[in-house]
Amino acid sequence: MIEKVVSDYLVVGAGAMGMAFTDVLMTETDATVTIVDRHSHPGGHWNDSYPFVRLHQPSSFYGVNSRELGNDTKDLEGGNAGLYELASGTEVVTYFDQVMNQQFLPSGRVRYLPTSEYLGDGLIRDLISGIEVVVDARKTVNATYMNVTVPAVTTPSYDVMEGVQCIPPNELPSITTTPDGYVVIGGGKTAIDSCLWLLSNDVNPEIIRWVLPRDQWMLDRAYIQPGPEFADRVMLRQVETMEIVAASTSLDQMFDRLLENGALLQLDPAVRPTMYRCCTVTSVELNELQRISNVVRLGRVRQIGLHDIDLDDATVSTSPNTIHVDCTADGLARRPIRPVFEDGLLTLQTVRTCQQVFSAAFIAHVEATYDGETIKNELCTVVPHPDDTLDWVRTTLENALNSIKWNADPGLKTWLSNARLDGFSGRGAPRQAAGPSGDDLLGRIREVTPSALEKLAAYLDEGRKVN
Ligand SMILES: Cc1cc2nc3c(=O)[nH]c(=O)nc-3n(C[C@H](O)[C@H](O)[C@H](O)COP(=O)(O)OP(=O)(O)OC[C@H]3O[C@@H](n4cnc5c(N)ncnc54)[C@H](O)[C@@H]3O)c2cc1C
């Protein structure tokens, strides 16, 4: 006979989003929650991360709302020196373990089913014992919809011939024989991390080849910082960005100006990026990456043989003693938008660009506070992950529209200002610059925002017609 578990909510996925969602339910309701996940520990894909992974945003606004992550200190060395700490993958996993074992489980309101697969209709099978349980829940929360994939658990999307050395970044620190060279494949954050890791281990940049299907616009992490010492700088950057948008005469001219101003960064001044995926770097990291001159911009890899790499646009040579580092898994897949709230089902998605944990916590607060799916869905307009240049326009516009809507609701405004995970206005944000400079910046942003948003909407409209 299958055991039946009764619970208010069934949360499928104990990744960062499922954890951040449950945390707010724990704080703001007296609901009971069953959490199921295939992994043996909470934290989702962070369990499969490469050993040198770090957050690419400060720890101060990552994790769950109710518990600090990290020590609120600044890095003293490395590419992030002088800026607020970035938790390592191990720290993130330990943190989620503590949230589960020191907060959720002792509350007596959470039942956690690790190493278990959700099969649908409330049915869960333990992957080790094979024992099945059925959860009878008022609501099911799908915290798996964002479909994050990481190289360690994905096979490359191209063919790899027998004998070729092709590894995920996880295996880089285990290399025992120095190869002829390294080929890093991919244009995202994982590829950047792998290149930086090789350089930080004194690998000669001449023997690193970087296969970059698309260049990306990057954000300068120095302007994504909490703490009062960064307040003026961060706010000024936001004001200037909106002023550039409002004054721009075309989409291209706007990107030129954003580049000159430093609001956006690019790897090679001669190559216009076509991709935007919220990637952050510091100027030190960017300078390091620019030491790699052998950048292959010939499309995606189709096949790696012992002596050749076939790409979309050409074939380049390689060797059996070259290590190919596969960084092509899509950690930020674009998913079709679904309503967040449907009858008995919540589908967690981003309501602020690339801010998954904030979004999950916000959705939980809306769930706990408002009645009726219409109003809840109105408050939780989904802002899907960005991918291309036009998505910078779209996400800047949609984030701003969501913020304006939220701040018009006094209850939500108060919640946001107390939310640790809100890196823009909450406890994780830089404190407002005090005195005349702060007032001046606030005045400037209020004045320019309407015309900037109008301009963004027009560019988006134009761009959609062209595409
Ligand atoms: C290298 C890297 C760095 C990143 N850095 C940042 C950062 O600095 N800041 C930031 O905000 N974001 C960052 N991200 C984005 C990150 O993906 C999100 O912050 C967040 O971790 C996503 O969590 P999730 O819960 O959506 O997904 P996941 O971590 O994928 O969790 C989903 C869980 O669902 C489980 N699951 C799926 N299907 C089932 C099933 N049928 N039954 C049982 N369990 C199931 C999976 O086992 C998994 O544990 C980074 C991502 C990567 C890859």
**Residue pLDDT tens, the chain, 467 long:** 889 999 999 999 999 999 999 999 999 999 999 999 999 999 999 999 999 999 999 999 999 999 999 999 999 999 999 999 999 999 999 999 999 999 999 999 999 999 999 999 999 999 999 999 999 999 999 999 998 888 888 899 999 999 999 999 999 999 999 999 999 999 999 999 999 999 999 999 999 999 999 999 999 999 999 888 888 889 999 999 999 999 999 999 999 999 999 999 999 999 999 999 999 999 999 999 999 999 999 999 999 999 999 999 999 999 999 999 999 998 778 899 999 999 999 999 999 999 999 999 999 999 999 999 999 999 999 999 999 999 999 999 999 999 999 999 999 999 999 999 998 777 666 655 555 677 788 899 999 999 999 999 999 999 877 66
Could you tell me the distance, in angstroms and rounded to a whole number, from the CA of residue 40 to the centre of ligand 1?
14
Verify that 22 and 136 share a domain, yes or no: yes
How many domains does the chain fold into? 3
Tokens at residue 99, please?
Answer: 């949230």
Dist CA 424 CA 73 (whole Å): 19
Per-residue pLDDT, 440: 87
Residue 295 phi/psi, 5-degree rounding, is -105, 125
Dist CA 25 CA 406 (whole Å): 19
Cα angle, residue 337 at apex, residues 463 and 397 outer, rounded to 5°: 45
- From 37, 326, 420, the mutation candidate for ligand 1 (largest count of ligand atoms within 8 A of CB) is 37
Verify that 14 and 144 share a domain, yes or no: yes
Verify that 211 and 321 share a domain, yes or no: yes
Per-residue pLDDT, 438: 75
Q: Is 249 part of a structural domain of the chain?
A: no
Write the residue with the smallest CA distance to atom 53 of ligand 1: 331
Verify that 168 and 108 share a domain, yes or no: no
Per-residue pLDDT, 425: 74
Residue among 373, 375, 368 at smallest CA distance from 9: 368
Verify that 35 and 116 share a domain, yes or no: yes
Verify that 446 and 353 share a domain, yes or no: no
Cα angle, residue 295 at apex, residues 293 and 297 outer, rounded to 5°: 150
**Could you identify the residue written with the tokens 């001669």?**
270
Q: Is 351 part of a structural domain of the chain?
A: yes
Per-residue pLDDT, 429: 67
Q: Is 129 part of a structural domain of the chain?
A: yes
Verify that 317 and 396 share a domain, yes or no: no
Can you give the residue range of the structural domain that contains 321? 151-215+266-326
Write the residue with the smallest CA distance to atom 19 of ligand 1: 356
Verify that 393 and 282 share a domain, yes or no: no
Q: Does residue 15's CB lie within 6 angstroms of at least one atom of ligand 1?
A: yes
Query: CA dihedral defined by 93, 94, 96, 99, rounded to 10 degrees?
Result: 180
Question: DSSP per residue over 252-318, as a string?
Answer: HHHHHHHHHHTSSB-S-TTS---EEEEEEE-HHHHHHHTT---EE-S--EEEE-SSEEEESS-EEE-
- From 142, 356, 382, 383, the mutation candidate for ligand 1 (largest count of ligand atoms within 8 A of CB) is 356
Q: Residue 97 maps to which CATH number? A: 3.50.50.60
Dist CA 341 CA 336 (whole Å): 15
Verify that 337 and 310 share a domain, yes or no: no
Q: Is 138 part of a structural domain of the chain?
A: yes
Dist CA 189 CA 158 (whole Å): 19
Per-residue pLDDT, 334: 84
CA of residue 170 relative to chain centroid, distance: 19
Q: Is 85 part of a structural domain of the chain?
A: yes
Q: Is 136 helix (H, G, I), strand (E, B) or coil?
A: strand
Ligand 1 atom nearest 42 alpha carbon: 49
Q: Is 242 part of a structural domain of the chain?
A: no
Could you tell me the distance, in angstroms and rounded to a whole number, from the CA of residue 44 to the centre of ligand 1?
5
Verify that 401 and 427 share a domain, yes or no: yes
Q: Is 321 part of a structural domain of the chain?
A: yes
Q: Is 260 part of a structural domain of the chain?
A: no
Per-residue pLDDT, 464: 75
Query: CA dihedral defined by 384, 388, 393, 394, rounded to 10 degrees?
Result: -20
Verify that 174 and 87 share a domain, yes or no: no
Q: pTM score, two decimals? A: 0.96
Per-residue pLDDT, 433: 54
Verify that 322 and 423 share a domain, yes or no: no
Dist CA 274 CA 461 (whole Å): 18
Write the residue with the smallest CA distance to atom 10 of ligand 1: 355
Q: In this structure, are residues 61 and 429 in contact, taking their beta carbons and an 8 Å threshold?
A: yes
Query: CA dihedral defined by 77, 83, 85, 89, rounded to 10 degrees?
Result: -80
